[in-house]
Structure 1
């Protein structure tokens, strides 16, 4: 679901603020004052191989043909924010800051635990998802790297500005989502449990208060399957097959992968416009080009990164990196029923008609 309860939205913002305050406070305590600004250095182009090589590695499981074994059930729920907060001027935090941030976020998740029978203030019913379903309820969401943002390029740790066309798409999408449900044609695909949020590609790290952050990887010599919790499996072909014709457009794009050393590099083309609507509210254009990178660091950690280029959406390409973590063998993906009986669209429309009837009765207009 796109809608989050106000409590969880506020909590996520509060946690992010705490992470910044922790780092800024420690930085202020340990840094000497300066009397002049630091010299500006020219930006270097992003080199993913150099960047990936900086992450520590351990024993890496391998398949029969000697490739890194990416298989397992993984989570992309991490505390590292997508963008570096404006008040944060460091590219990395310390281990002590990371542990403190984990404790702050975990306590916030505990404080927000809501019983399913409790009606939030100002609401007529309980929230569709109480805290039982949210990341941070059952476990402490970790900081898996010391970066202060998932965005590593541009160097400021911020997603580049949107183009005017993308901003307009975002406004139109918000209007569609918030306008009355006049018919099934104007409801998003997620109302039908199709293209739910955070199913990728690409993935970004989520955090406390989010959901649907687990996925499974199944691997063979010729294909790797990425299976998110909310369906929508992605087939990554490694056998050198040709891409679809230019006029064939797919919501999840056409994925072709190859190994560069121990990193699986996946090249995506043939996206349908709005194919990335589950990740970015303003969607994408058909000109988008996505490159994903997957590298297993050890038994329990998987480094993920992507570079995305879409001149119709962002003013320049950008890249992210973050470390996913493996769930235990006892934790498995279960059926994602989305909503019982798949009646969400039916109930949305019937509720809209009931609301219209209620307004007619209040106004005395019974035409």
Structure 2
């Protein structure tokens, strides 16, 4: 669904920033400018991560089939970016808008107008080394089949609003995290720090995650929440946030209630945070997998997120489903009358 926003206009892609994805340049990969950078401090002495940030990117989560290299060349990245920007801007040409729901470029929703910290990687996944999400194990496959069967018994996805996924209903969406995955739009975050806490406000759904940094006990195993429970601590320049106790009612890529997510935020420049997360869920995958996703500073503030349950998008979808059913019934009736 559509949120009414874009906090950064104008193309901000700079391929010089992309070299941060080259081995030996990115933080944690050897020497480079990032390792010489010291983040400013908050009044209580912690690395300052505050501000507005975007994790928008053209880099796909998984490495495309047929691509074996871990990195594109700068020339390949430039060609890919140019082609995508052209395709996105073409959506405003008369008669070519693929979705009359909204105009991408008019409201700055195309990624070519968003603040982005591109890297040269061919995938955001850095582990496993093939850049792919590990195969779903037998337990995860069984659970997915059970979910599909339950939805079918309810009449299918388009039978009612309640049968739809929570993101279609604008109740919860993946970019809010954890983990914080980007989307085609609304991939902005506002980070605020206070003594003992970090607050991360996601533009998508406007969900605010308050992360305590003290040594409080881990939550009880039986206490679960929709987005889990997060606890944070500092490891030098890096904020580490560990989340568990998910209820699996809004699964991340089919995850189970056993999923844990470890996020790492490291400010490596005035306008960049290196964001890294590891997903570990033995109930879905037999091995953990890790994503590295740069975050680029964007211009605030965050505007209203206008998608809400009961909005016209879901209503129109259900109306379309009822129309298809009516047309199918009329066609069947005509067939019987011949």
TM-score after normalising by structure 2: 0.77
Whole-angstrom distance in 2 between the partners of 1:52 and 1:223: 29
Q: Say yes or no: does 1:128 pair with 2:101.
A: yes
Bigger mean CA deviation after superposition, 266-275 or 345-354: 345-354
2:290 to 315, 319, 339: 319
Q: Quick check: 2:238–2:265 contact (8 Å CA) kept in 1?
A: yes
The aligned runs of 1:129-148 (5 Å cut-off) are 129-132=102-105, 134-139=109-114, 142=116, 144-148=118-122
Whole-angstrom distance in 2 between the partners of 1:170 and 1:114: 41
The aligned runs of 1:88-99 (5 Å cut-off) are 88-99=67-78
> Which digits, 9 at most, give the CA deviation of each residue in 1:11-32, with x for residues without a partner?
xxxxxxxxxxxxxxxxxxxxxx
Residue-pair matches, total: 303
Q: Say yes or no: does 1:266 pair with 2:235.
A: no
Q: Say yes or no: does 1:288 pair with 2:263.
A: no
Q: Say yes or no: does 1:102 pair with 2:81.
A: yes
Equivalent position of 2:17 in the other structure = none
Bigger mean CA deviation after superposition, 189-198 or 287-296: 189-198
How many angstroms does 1:131 deviate by?
Answer: 1.8
> Which digits, 9 at most, give the CA deviation of each residue in 1:140-161, with x for residues without a partner?
x645222222111112222111
Equivalent position of 1:18 in the other structure = none
Equivalent position of 2:211 in the other structure = 236
Whole-angstrom distance in 2 between the partners of 1:96 and 1:297: 25
Equivalent position of 1:85 in the other structure = 64
Runs of 5+ in structure 1 lacking a partner?
3-48, 121-125
Bigger mean CA deviation after superposition, 146-155 or 258-267: 146-155
1:254 to 210, 214, 229: 229
1:332 to 301, 304, 308: 301
Give the superposed CA RMSD. Answer: 3.2
How many angstroms does 1:240 deviate by?
Answer: 2.1
> Which digits, 9 at most, give the CA deviation of each residue in 1:79-137, with x for residues without a partner?
2221223433322333344334333332232233467x9764xxxxx543432353325
Whole-angstrom distance in 1 between the partners of 2:96 and 2:82: 26
Runs of 5+ in structure 2 lacking a partner?
3-25
Q: Quick check: 1:131–1:137 contact (8 Å CA) kept in 2?
A: no
Equivalent position of 2:11 in the other structure = none
Q: Quick check: 1:80–1:143 contact (8 Å CA) kept in 2?
A: no
TM-score after normalising by structure 1: 0.71
Q: Quick check: 1:244–1:254 contact (8 Å CA) kept in 2?
A: yes
Q: What secondary structure is seen at the aligned counterpart in 2 of 1:218?
A: strand
How many angstroms does 1:336 deviate by?
Answer: 0.5
How many angstroms does 1:284 deviate by?
Answer: 1.0
> Which digits, 9 at most, give the CA deviation of each residue in 1:227-249, with x for residues without a partner?
11122221211122233322111
Bigger mean CA deviation after superposition, 86-95 or 286-295: 86-95
Whole-angstrom distance in 2 between the partners of 1:352 and 1:183: 10
Equivalent position of 1:166 in the other structure = 140
Name which structure has the greater RCO, CA cutoff 8 Å, separation 6+: 2
2:281 to 310, 319, 328: 310
2:43 to 47, 57, 64: 64
Whole-angstrom distance in 1 between the partners of 2:303 and 2:263: 26
Q: Quick check: 2:260–2:279 contact (8 Å CA) kept in 1?
A: yes
Q: What secondary structure is seen at the aligned counterpart in 2 of 1:77?
A: coil
Q: What secondary structure is seen at the aligned counterpart in 2 of 1:90?
A: coil
Change (3 A) 1:186 1:54: farther
Q: Quick check: 1:180–1:352 contact (8 Å CA) kept in 2?
A: no
Q: Say yes or no: does 1:179 pair with 2:179.
A: no
